Every structure is written in structure tokens, then in C-alpha cells.
Amino acid sequence: MRIAGLVAASLLVAGCLAGCSDSTGGQAHPTALTPITPSRSGSSTSATTTTSTLAAPPTGVPIAQAIKWIEAAPPVDAARYHVALRGGVTADLGDDVAFTTPAGTTCMTDAKHSAPGLACLVNLTDPPKQPPDVYGQWKGGWVDFDGGTVLVGSAHGDPGRFANGRGAELPLDKSLSFGDFRCRTDSDALYCVNYAHQSAVRLADSGVDTYACAQQVTPPAGIGVEYVC
């Protein structure tokens, strides 16, 4: 029994010397051991990237894809978007909402005085031209989106709902829900979905694009461009 124990101990020491150290000049130096991390199926640094940080889907993709991207942005508290500010005066909008994007687009609802829907003033670089039969103040960057139609460019005798001013800024890559709508910002555009009609728009200075509203029709009098969802 003692002989077997001595042999086992000798083998253990020999194994450690062979696998745990290098010999240089008769001195033993510890060998650095690299820990082995168990691999995880499907995991990588790119897997930590969430939908909220991905680029916005291009127009023409299925509406479900656009909605998924909009919903991926963390929501903000809608309570702070029920007021508008103009010249230092705050207007209480009641159930309506008002907000401004980091890119400068201003949006507001006005369910009390007009058809339910979202109106936005976009600084379009190439807005629709004023039709020859339209008189009054033409606002080529005025966009109305009620889920069923997208109207770009219209005549207004007064600022309308925007007489109350502008709403608080909707932060970058955050989303705001109100009524049938949910809107999300990115660095240069605003994306809004209407759940009732399963349609969405992208509003940017470079232009107005639509999701599930690709049919362009002859607009009614006083409107520059109309899309039907």
C-alpha cells in the first residue's frame, strides 16, 4: 500500500512539472493558463444590439416591420406633452398632444376643432408647389396624417392648432403613444404609426415617405399631394 501511494504521488508531481511549468536554466517558471469560456450558441457582440439601435426600416417593407422598429424605442411619459409653449405662455391642450423632434418637426393633434389625426410642420427642402387654384397662405410642409390618408401641403388662413406654439421635444430614439398613434424619432426623421389603419409615415426635411400608404391619388382642392392607405 505504501509503495502504491509513493508511485501515485511521484506521477502527480511529474505530471505537474510537465504541464504546469517550463524549465529554463534549471529553474521552474509557472506557465500562464488561458481559461476556456464555454461557447453559447448564437451569442456574439452583435447579439446585444437591439431593435431600438438599428437603422430605421426603409419604406416599402411590410408594415409589421416598421411597427416593430417604432415600438422598440423606450416610451416617454405622455403627460408632459399635453401643453404647448409660445412666447413664454403655456397653453393646456387637454387630451391633445404636442411635440417637437430633434430635427425640428413640430406636431400636434386637435381633436376638438378638426378631424382626429396628427398634423406636423416639416421643414421640407422641396415642398409641393402651391396649386394655381389655391389662395391664401400656402404651407407646403404641413402634413396631415389620420391613418387613412397622408396629405402634404395645404392652405391655411391662420396658424390653426399651431397658434398654441410648440410642444416639448421628443428625445432621440424615444417613442410617444397617444390615441391610435405611436411616434418615434431618430437623428433626422419622425416615424409615426396609426394602429387603427395599420399604416405609418416617415417625416423628414428630405421628404415624406409612407408605409402601407403607397397609392398616390389626385388630391382634393387645396392639397398638394395625397396618399391613400
Contact indicator for 203, 135 with CB cutoff of 8 Å? no
Q: Is residue 51 part of a domain?
A: no
Arithmetic mean of pLDDT, 28-35: 34
* Residue 96, domain extent: 60-224
Q: Tell me if 147 is assigned to some domain.
A: yes
**Highest mean predicted confidence (pLDDT) among 1-5, 181-185, 219-223:** 181-185
pTM score, whole prediction: 0.76
Q: Which residues does residue 92 pair with via DSSP β-bridges, in sequence order? A: 83
Alpha helix (H) residue ranges in 56-129: 63-71
Residue 215 cell numbers, joined:
397609392
Distance of alpha carbon 110 from alpha carbon 94, whole angstroms: 10
Q: Within a domain: residue 152? A: yes
Average confidence (pLDDT) over 56-67:
93
Mean pLDDT of 143-162: 91
Q: Say which range, 22-31, 132-141, 155-164, has the weakest mean pLDDT.
A: 22-31
- Asked whether residue 105 is assigned to any structural domain, the reply reads yes
140 within a domain of the structure (yes/no): yes
Nearest C-alpha neighbor of 211 from the set 203, 223, 219: 203
* Lowest-pLDDT range of 20-29, 78-87, 139-148, 193-202: 20-29
Contact 164, 91 (CB under 8 A): yes
pLDDT band at 158 (very low <50, low <70, confident <90, very high): confident
Backbone angles phi, psi at 82, to 5 degrees: -100, 20
Structural domain includes residue 129: yes
The structural domain count of the chain equals: 1
Q: Does 2 reside within a domain?
A: no
CA 89/CA 154 separation, integer angstroms: 27
Whether 92 is covered by a domain: the verdict is yes
Give 2-12 pLDDT, tens digit per residue. 334 433 334 33
